[in-house]
Structure 1
Amino acid sequence: MTERKPPGVSFESYVDKQIRDAEARGEFENLPGAGRPVPAVAETEYDELWWIKRKMAREGFAVLPPTLALRKEAEDTLAAAAAAPSERVVRHLVEELNVKIRDMMFKPPPGPPLGLKPYDVEEIVRRWRERRAG
């Protein structure tokens, strides 16, 4: 930590001087990622909120409205059901998904409409059996 800002010196000038002094001492040399673009900015077109979105994703916060997040969860669950090792697991996955869909149907959150109805568990189990047999 450096000394306190002297009275009468603007904060910006004081910070600029500290940065210049640290640069002169070589404290910014050999930093990880030096000379390379920030990955999120280099990978996509510029979005000024990229770092917020990355932080939210890292922390597990949904960026999507609840209905769209449930649609995505439904896709993922159906894919997981197709690859499930047993009929019991398929039933469990689809029944849990149906509970969430019914909750959202009867207590709609703000955002776009869900556009889903509960899935027919027996139909999904039938398709799972066909894929396993053939």
Structure 2
Amino acid sequence: MRQRRLMNQINVVPYIDVMLVLLVIFMVTAPMVQTGNINVPSAGPAEAPVTEAIVIQVDDKGAYSIIRRTGAQPESISKERLSTMLKDFVTENPEQPFLLAAHRDLNYQQVIDVLETARKQGVRKISLQTQSSTSGR
């Protein structure tokens, strides 16, 4: 009698046939699937109040000024007055955004002091104003 050798290869032809049949089935049935429509209730357009950021400026000598709206002239203030103004702004609108524009030659500790004063007065939204290096300053 003749001995049979074991085959150490997997015959993948039947698997390819099954995959091709499944592919044809999906290609035929996919265009027939209907998309469902969901009627979602709406609450109407909600408009958030537009609040313009108030700019706190600190110059290279450490003097404070504030700009309440775009195009307005800076108003020079003391550090104590800045603290009371921040508290008033936050009492009026807790979500009032602020920008801190400090001179680049200013000591970093003075910037931290302004941020700390704002935090103590309850300011939630404060950002540092940046300037690109191509602007020439």
TM-score range, shorter chain: under 0.3
How high is the TM-score relative to the length of structure 2? 0.24
From the two aligned structures, give the one with the greater helix fraction.
1
How high is the TM-score relative to the length of structure 1? 0.25
